[in-house]
Structure 1
Amino acid sequence: ERLNLDEQQAGALEVLQQELQETRELMRGGEGEDRQTLKDLVSAESFDQGLALELITQRTSAMQAQAPELVAAAAGFLDGLNSEQKQELSELMDRFGNKHGRRANKDN
């Protein structure tokens, strides 16, 4: 709304949002199953490093497989913005990013 997107830009944003959602879902994996596996790892008498690395590898592989589509969707959206829209987006990112930045920089 604040970026005053035209139909083509709004469509590109929707594609980007869908790719971001798919990426989040891939990173979560089979949440219930993975959560139980993690609980089993933590509660085991000995920590299974191989299984832990396997879980991490599965997630990073999923992200690597999804990355080209995510980057292409981001490019499709961002390349369609004019300079004023890019400036507004940058300001929005600064404003909303500060919520996370304060927490991350709290220890500094």
Structure 2
Amino acid sequence: MKPWIKKTLIGLTSVTVVLGGLSACGSRGHHGEGWSAERVSEVRGKVVEKISGKLELDVAQKQKLGTLADQIIASRTAFRGESADPRTELKTLIAGEKFDRTAAQTLLDQKTQAIQGNAPQTINALADFFDSLNPEQQKQVREKLERRHGWWGRG
């Protein structure tokens, strides 16, 4: 695999994990409630501002980062589907005497289609953002990924 493709996929995965993790965790103490659109928007804004500050992004770069964040949120929403509580889907698979393999396969197919359907747009948004960075900013991103810390972590 070419190095730039590998780096792009690693970067996409990292950004997805960061923003998806923020979105998926929910607010502390209220794990069953999920996040409102307002809360997701608030966290998105904070993450974009934090990354923008760390990388000293200009207006155009910040806009591309915002587009990437929006695409990741859209991908997460598509992956999550119409279910308000993903745990309920799992509970239905184990509710009977035997594990519902057919329903599990259907659920897996739906999730896989959601990922595949949104992946090209997400990769393009990530590529547009990364390509807009100057060499020093790209170096910062690579170093941050090497240290394997989040943008707001210890490193």
Q: Give the shorter-chain TM-score range.
A: 0.7 to 0.9
Q: How far apart, in 1, do the equivalents of 2:71 and 2:91 lie?
A: 30
Give the paired residue count. Answer: 98
Deviation of 1:58 after TM superposition, in Å, equals 0.1
Deviations 1:27-63 (A, max 9, x none): 2222336432321211211212111000010001011
Deviations 1:9-43 (A, max 9, x none): 11100000111111122222223364323212112
The corresponding residue for 2:142 is 90
The corresponding residue for 1:39 is 91
The corresponding residue for 2:112 is 60
Name whichever structure is richer in helix by fraction. 1
The corresponding residue for 1:11 is 63
- Provide structure 2 residue ranges, at least 5 long, that are not aligned to the other structure: 1-52, 151-155
The corresponding residue for 2:126 is 74
Q: What secondary structure sits across from 2:132 in the alignment?
A: coil
With normalisation by structure 2, the TM-score equals 0.58
Q: Which has the higher contact order (CA 8 A, sep 6+)?
A: 1
Q: How far apart, in 1, do the equivalents of 2:88 and 2:54 lie?
A: 42
Q: How far apart, in 2, do the equivalents of 1:71 and 1:42 lie?
A: 35
With normalisation by structure 1, the TM-score equals 0.80
Report the aligned-residue RMSD: 1.7
